[in-house]
């Protein structure tokens, strides 16, 4: 019921946006000067700034604990897609040990992704479209560098989401996953530079790991996810 209401609200908001759009567009064109190229540029600029785009557009993660689970599901989709690509054609010069470890991590991330999909059931967001055009999958440096960024980000995401979760069982589940992500992060870091498993890039002077709130995490992940994600309804505290 809640979902249907939410969708209805979105449709209404989008309709309102369509109604007000022509006026905005006209005033833009007034300043656009001449030439189709100028108009196209301006249109692109508008889109980037979200000036004519409704804030509620995109895949809505939902609210409450379901929203947080969908948020985790989105991140696990990203990680799983990455390691599937990595394992489908390993970088050149990979050792047997690295091949085995990265294959393990791929399987863990798929397990996480599928777990959230099933746990969420009809509340699950659809499959997200990823963008890995920035990654050179034949380069060890590029693959491990990206893996490190994703794993550290995942750890900080779960750490930051804990306080937003209301249900004790969901909090425990998030805890069961985050320590595995931390094991991944440590291993990947050690593959890049032995001994960097918990260095000062990630651990502060109190011996604490990082935590990030969803908006910050999604902002960092955004270049790798084509599908627009709407996290507006996630719990704020």
Partner 1 sequence: MNILNILEEIEKTDAEVYERISPRRKAMAQFYGFGKKVALASIPFALGTMFKKAYAQTASTEVEAVLQFALTLEYLEAEFYTKGVAAAGLVPAGAALGAITTIRDHENQHVAFLKTALMSLGKTPVSKPTFDFSAGNGSNTGPFANVFSNYDTFLAVAQTFEDTGVRAYKGQAPALIGSGGVLTAALNIHSVEARHAAHIRQMRKARGANIKPWITGQDTGIGAIVQASYAGEELEDQAGIKITGINGQMISASAATEAFDEPLTKAQILAIVDPFIV
Applying CB under 8 A, the residues found at the interface with partner 1 are 101, 104, 107-108, 110-112, 114-115, 117-119, 155, 158-160, 162-163, 165-166, 168-169, 171-173, 175-187, 190, 194-195, 197-199, 203-211, 213, 237
CA distance 62 to 105: 28
Place of tokens 């249907």: 4
CA distance 185 to 178: 10
Of the candidates 227, 210, 185, the residue with the CA atom closest to the CA atom of residue 77:
227
Q: How does DSSP classify residue 222? A: G
- Closest contact distance (angstroms) between CB of 117 and partner 1 is 7
CA distance 25 to 117: 40
Q: How does DSSP classify residue 206? A: T
- Closest contact distance (angstroms) between CB of 100 and partner 1 is 9
Q: Based on CB atoms, which residue is closest to partner 1, 100 or 138?
A: 100
Q: How does DSSP classify residue 63? A: S
Q: Based on CB atoms, which residue is closest to partner 1, 58 or 160?
A: 160
- Closest contact distance (angstroms) between CB of 13 and partner 1 is 26
Q: Based on CB atoms, which residue is closest to partner 1, 146 or 181?
A: 181
Q: Based on CB atoms, which residue is closest to partner 1, 53 or 186?
A: 186
Q: Based on CB atoms, which residue is closest to partner 1, 17 or 107?
A: 107
Q: Based on CB atoms, which residue is closest to partner 1, 28 or 115?
A: 115
| Tokens (6 digits) for 226 | 């084509």
- Closest contact distance (angstroms) between CB of 83 and partner 1 is 12
- Closest contact distance (angstroms) between CB of 71 and partner 1 is 16
User: For the purposes of burial, counting CB atoms within 10 Å of the CB of 61, is it exposed (0-12), middle (13-18) or buried (19 or more)?
Assistant: buried
Q: Based on CB atoms, which residue is closest to partner 1, 20 or 199?
A: 199
- Closest contact distance (angstroms) between CB of 143 and partner 1 is 17
- Closest contact distance (angstroms) between CB of 176 and partner 1 is 4
Asked whether the beta carbons of 42 and 32 are under 8 A apart, the reply is yes
| Tokens (6 digits) for 44 | 């692109």
CA atoms within 13 A on the CB side of 112: 31
CA distance 132 to 145: 13
């Amino acid at each position: 019921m809640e979902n249907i209401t939410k969708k209805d609200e979105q449709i209404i908001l989008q309709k309102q946006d369509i109604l007000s759009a022509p006026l905005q567009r006209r005033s833009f064109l007034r300043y656009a000067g001449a030439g189709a190229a100028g108009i196209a540029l301006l249109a692109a600029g508008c889109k980037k700034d979200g000036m004519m785009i409704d804030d509620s557009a995109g895949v809505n993660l939902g609210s409450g604990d379901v929203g947080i689970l969908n948020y985790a599901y989105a991140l696990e989709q990203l990680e799983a897609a990455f390691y599937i690509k990595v394992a489908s054609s390993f970088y050149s010069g990979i050792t047997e040990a690295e091949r085995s470890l990265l294959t393990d991590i791929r399987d863990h991330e798929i397990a996480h992704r599928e777990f959230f999909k099933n746990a969420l059931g009809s509340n699950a967001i659809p499959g997200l479209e990823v963008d890995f055009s920035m990654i050179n999958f034949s380069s060890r440096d590029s693959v491990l560098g990206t893996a490190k960024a994703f794993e550290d980000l995942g750890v900080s995401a779960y750490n930051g989401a804990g306080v937003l979760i209301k249900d004790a069982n969901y909090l425990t589940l998030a805890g069961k996953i985050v320590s595995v992500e931390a094991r991944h992060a440590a291993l990947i870091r050690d593959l890049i530079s032995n001994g960097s498993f918990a260095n000062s890039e990630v651990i502060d002077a109190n011996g604490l790991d990082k935590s990030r709130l969803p908006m910050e995490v999604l902002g960092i992940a955004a270049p790798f996810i084509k599908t627009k994600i709407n996290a507006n309804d996630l719990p704020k505290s």
